[in-house]
Amino acid sequence: MKTLLIAALAGVSMLAINSAQAVERGGTLTFARYDDSNLVDPVYADRNPDIWMVTNLYDTLLRTKADGKTIVPGLASGYEVSADGKTISITLRDGIKFSDGSPITAADVKFSLERAVNPDFGPWSGLLGSVESITETKNGVTLSMKNPDPTIISILATFNTAIVSKAAFEAAPGANDQEKATALFAPGTPVSGPFTLKDRTRGSTMTFSANPHYWRQGEDGKPLPYLDEVSFVVIPDDATRILKLQAGEVNGAEFVPFSRVAELKADPAINMELFPSTRIIYAPINARETRADGSPNPMATKEARQALNYATNKGALVQLITHGTGKSMTSPLMASTTQLAHDGGPLYPYDPAKAKELAKSSGLEGAEITLTTLAGSSDDATLFAAIQQMWGAIGVNVKVEQVDNPTRGAKNRSGEFDVHTYGWVNDVNDPAQVAGWLGYYPTRKAVGTGWNNAEFNSLFEASNTEIDPEKRSEQYKRMQEIYRDAAPLLFLYETPFAVALSANVNGYLQTPLGNNEFSSAWIAK
Partner 1 sequence: MSSLSYLVSRLLQIIPTFLLVMVVIFLLVRMLPGDPAIAMADAKATEAQLELIRQKLGLNEPLPMQFLYFVKNTLTGDMGTSILLKAPVLEVILERIPVTAFLTIYAVCLSILIAGPLAFVAALNKNGMLDIAIRSGFQVGLSTPVFYIGLLLLTFLAASLRLFPVGGYGTTFLQHLHHLMLPALTVALYTSAIIMRNLRSAVIEVLDAEYVQFARSKGLSRSVILGRHVLRNALISTVTLLGLSIGNLMSGTLVTETVFAVPGLGRLMLEAIFARDYPLIQGLTLTFAVMVSLVFLFTDMVQAWLDPRLRLS
Which of 7, 8, 14, 47 contacts partner 1 by CB under 8 A?
47
Which of 385, 410, 503, 524 contacts partner 1 by CB under 8 A?
410
CA 286 → CA 55, 280, 448, distances in Å? Answer: 37, 19, 7
CB-nearer residue toward partner 1: 452 or 473: 452
Which of 80, 263, 368, 404 contacts partner 1 by CB under 8 A?
404
> If binding means CB under 8 A, how many residues of this protein chain bind partner 1?
38
413 in contact with partner 1 (CB under 8 A) = yes
Q: 349, 439 in Cβ contact below 8 A? A: no
Shortest Cβ 35–partner 1 spacing (Å): 8
Shortest Cβ 217–partner 1 spacing (Å): 36
Closest-CA residue to 163 (of 37, 55, 52): 55
Shortest Cβ 255–partner 1 spacing (Å): 14
Site residues for partner 1, 449-468, by CB under 8 A, read none
Characterize the bridge pairing of strands 368-374 and 419-420.
parallel
CB-nearer residue toward partner 1: 80 or 249: 249
Which of 11, 103, 174, 203 contacts partner 1 by CB under 8 A?
203
CB-nearer residue toward partner 1: 66 or 403: 403
204 in contact with partner 1 (CB under 8 A) = yes
Shortest Cβ 440–partner 1 spacing (Å): 13
Show the site string, 167-186: x = touches partner 1 by CB under 8 A, - = not: -----------x---x----
Max distance between CA atoms of the chain, in angstroms, equals 82
Residue by residue, DSSP assigns 415-448 as T--SEE-EEE--SSSSTHHHHHHHT-HHHHTTTT
Which of 103, 123, 212, 324 contacts partner 1 by CB under 8 A?
123
Strand partners, 195: 210
Shortest Cβ 240–partner 1 spacing (Å): 5
Q: 58, 158 in Cβ contact below 8 A? A: no
Could you give the angle at the alpha carbon of 227 between the alpha carbons of 221 and 233, nearest 5°? 155
Order of strands, sheet of 327-328, starting from the edge strand that comes earlier in the sequence:
327-328, 489-494, 280-284, 422-424
Strand partners, 296: 290
Characterize the bridge pairing of strands 497-502 and 327-328.
unpaired
At residue 471, φ and ψ (nearest 5 deg) are: -65, -40
Burial class (CB in 10 A: 0-12, 13-18, 19+), 394: buried
Shortest Cβ 206–partner 1 spacing (Å): 12
- Local structure of 305: helix, strand or coil: helix
Which of 381, 402, 437, 509 contacts partner 1 by CB under 8 A?
437
Site residues for partner 1, 24-43, by CB under 8 A, read 38-39
412 in contact with partner 1 (CB under 8 A) = yes
Site residues for partner 1, 209-268, by CB under 8 A, read 233-237, 239-240, 243-244, 246-247, 249
Shortest Cβ 83–partner 1 spacing (Å): 33
- Count the helix, strand and coil residues of the chain and give each as a percent rounded to the nearest 5: 35, 20, 45
The three state secondary structure string of 48-91 is: HHHHCCHHHHCCCCEEECCCCCCEEECCEEEEEECCCCCEEEEE
44 in contact with partner 1 (CB under 8 A) = yes
Burial class (CB in 10 A: 0-12, 13-18, 19+), 121: buried
Which of 403, 467, 482, 509 contacts partner 1 by CB under 8 A?
403
CB-nearer residue toward partner 1: 361 or 405: 405
Which of 126, 296, 324, 392 contacts partner 1 by CB under 8 A?
126
CA distance 261 to 274: 9
Question: Residue 379, Cα to own-chain centre: how many angstroms?
Answer: 20
409 in contact with partner 1 (CB under 8 A) = yes
Return the range that interacts with partner 1 (CB under 8 A); candidates 66-74, 401-409, 450-458, 472-480: 401-409
CB-nearer residue toward partner 1: 407 or 506: 407
The residue ranges that bind partner 1 (CB under 8 A) are 38-39, 44, 46-47, 123, 126, 178, 182, 201-204, 233-237, 239-240, 243-244, 246-247, 249, 403-410, 412-413, 422, 437, 444
